[in-house]
Chains A and B, each alone.
Chain A
Amino acid sequence: EPEVTQTPSHQVTQMGQEVILRCVPISNHLYFYWYRQILGQKVEFLVSFYNNEISEKSEIFDDQFSVERPDGSNFTLKIRSTKLEDSAMYFCASSLGLSDNEQFFGPGTRLTVL
């Protein structure tokens, strides 16, 4: 069964460093998403991406964040200068369509900012 994969599973970085989180969505899906979950809190939407551009973003997704689909398979989230409060689990998801389509989530990348 196709699945969303994410690498790395755990990333430790120093405050102020740049990190890139990688995701490989399901191959025939067209919509891609990033969510984050701070430990013990709810899953929060960051950004959605379609047709090589951001379709929607939340207020969390500020100028420190960017997304890219550098090739036909990878979907990346870059945090330019990490802060302590960026420590969270980051989930990538993909869906076939936008409306009433289930989203398939990856296993997540745990980001720890020291």
Chain B
Amino acid sequence: SQKIEQNSEALNIQEGKTATLTCNYTNYSPAYLQWYRQDPGRGPVFLLLIRENEKEKRKERLKVTFDTTLKQSLFHITASQPADSATYLCALEGKLIFGTGTRLQVFP
């Protein structure tokens, strides 16, 4: 069955630095992959979608890459701010098979 993994449960970085989160998947070739943000006690909020034929997608300070050979997506937040502190989830395709998430903490 499809499996999706986010390589770290938690990531702590200093304000202003770039945060890089990793998502790996196996037993699947998704047509697209999505990234969501989840704050404690809240529902996930959509951030970015990247298709298999796209190498990179950007939105303001966010950048996502998609390497179908490595079966991996990287999610970058540049110039990170304390307000970026949340759990970030990657998800495969339509019915959204979610990873376990990476809890990002940005320290001032």
Binding site for B on A (CB under 8 A): 4, 33, 35, 41-45, 48, 56, 89, 91, 93, 98-108
Smallest CB–CB gap between A17 and chain B, Å? 24
A100–B31 contact, CB under 8 A?
Answer: yes
Which of the residues A4, A93, A99 comes within 8 Å of B31, measured between beta carbons? A99
Tell whether A108 pairs with B31 under 8 Å between CB atoms, given A42-B101, A43-B89, A43-B98.
no
Seen from chain B, the residues whose Cβ lies within 8 Å of a Cβ on chain A are 31-32, 34, 38, 41-46, 49, 51, 89, 94-101
7 contacts across the A-B interface (CB closer than 8 A) = A42-B99, A99-B31, A100-B32, A100-B94, A102-B34, A108-B41, A108-B42
A-B contact count (CB 8 A): 54
Task: Give every chain B residue within 8 A of A89 (Cβ-Cβ).
Answer: 41
Q: In the complex, how many angstroms separate the beta carbon of B43 from the nearest chain A beta carbon? A: 3
